[in-house]
Amino acid sequence: MASYNKVTLLGNVTRDPELRYTPKGQAVVEVGMAMNRKYRVEDEMREETTFVDVTFWGKQAEVIAQYVKKGREFFCDGRLRLDTWDDKQTGQKRNKLRVVGDTFQFVGGGGQREDGGGGGGGYSSSRPAAPPQQQHQAPAAAPAAPAPAEEDDDIPF
């Protein structure tokens, strides 16, 4: 039987990411995210918030730790992973469903950077990582798609 494990999230960062390193020197960062869903029940608008932890590794973890702050909009995709462990205090089995991040994108201005720069830079584990040119400069965005030809203007939307 085939399976597919892919998650795409767009939300706000709930806390400043904290960069850590494994004993072998691998960078790891966990990004707490909150996603809101608004819906209507009869005549009343309601809102629910879902909180998810996303773990990034390597160069991505270092870039995220440098540029992402609490409250910033953040877009990422990855895969689900179920962590299981024994709670040392209660002795019970515990589980936590989390996302292991593959790629991310800075979105919105956020107003979090000192130089006033906005988001828009993206980072994928499949691209070679070049260090930022300045301390506050986000990674460069992918090249823009070419403008559509004029004969495509008859699309009705």
Q: So where are the chain's domains? A: 7-136
Give me the chain's average pLDDT, please: 78
* Inter-residue contact 50 to 32 (CB < 8 Å): no
151 — pLDDT class (breaks 50, 70, 90): very low
This prediction has a pTM of 0.67
Q: Which CATH number fits domain 7-136: 3.90.1710.10, 3.40.630.190, 2.40.50.100, 2.40.50.140?
A: 2.40.50.140
Residues sharing a CB contact under 8 Å with residue 141, sequence separation 6 or more, in sequence order: 120, 121, 122
Q: What is the pLDDT of residue 1?
A: 85
Distance CA 15, CA 21 (A): 19
